[in-house]
Copies of this chain bind each other. A is one copy, B any other.
Amino acid sequence: MKVSLKFRRCHCVSKVARHRAQIERARILFRIGKDFRGWLNPTPLDTIYQRHRPQSLKRGNPMPLTMYTLSIPVFTRGFSALGGLLDKAEAFAVESGMPLDELFNARLAPDMLPLSGQIQRASDTSKNAIARLTTLEVPRFPDDEQSFADLRARIAKTVAFFETVTPENLDGSEQREVILNFPNLKVNFSGSDYLLKFALPNFYFHVTTAYDILRHKGVPIGKADFIGGLD
């Protein structure tokens, strides 16, 4: 799948792969009753920022402000952060003995969506934004995720779709009419209004709430895990 190829080209992949391998190793040691703690090293803040040191100034190309740069890279960065949060949640489950299902189903209020639902809505909010701003055929996902592996697959499928979107697909979309139907109400947006006032706040809402849920459950994550890659 395209997404994994891209990850492979990134210089961060070895650290991500090593991190996952550490978790797997820790899980096996835990199962056979051995000490697994040495395999779970939290990544310090400065290492994360070092890894993601932005290159743009060196290249002398500040990011232009377009409907593309305001959507696709923002969404992709958000999903990259969500993937990292899932890694740390899994490591925490191994270390603390908390069942992964407890994190999967954790929520901040009885009538709020759980962690799984926040990731599903982040996926829908972002890909539906592209559906509304372009003429592209956007994949539908049935919200049938049952495990962390399923959530990772949902993230990968969503990001894989974003990799097929080109800046040209979003050309002129700031003027496109976007109509949202609420109960008893139809709201008309211009494309740029829709992106800035509705789609982006909604997307950040779900990424932040996923973070907040994990933080509330005691997963050792910090702001750097939310901000994610700065490259």
Chain A residues proximal to chain B, CB less than 8 Å? 45-46, 49-50, 53-54, 56-57, 61-67, 69-70, 73-74, 77, 108-109, 112, 174-175, 177, 182-185, 187-193, 196-198, 200-202, 204-205, 208-209, 211-212, 215-216, 218, 223, 226-227, 230
Contact = CB atoms under 8 A, between A and B. Distances in A.
A227 B197 contact: yes
Given A204-B201, A204-B205, A216 B108 contact: yes
18 contacts: A45-B183, A46-B185, A54-B188, A54-B193, A56-B189, A57-B188, A57-B189, A64-B192, A65-B66, A70-B196, A77-B197, A108-B108, A109-B215, A198-B227, A201-B204, A201-B227, A204-B204, A208-B212
A109 to B, nearest CB: 5
B223 A205 contact: yes
Contacts of A205: 204, 208, 211, 223, 226
B208 A204 contact: yes
Given A188-B57, A190-B56, A175 B49 contact: no
Name, among A45, A187, A193, A211, the residue most crowded by chain B CB atoms within 10 Å (CB to CB).
A193
Contacts of A61: 190
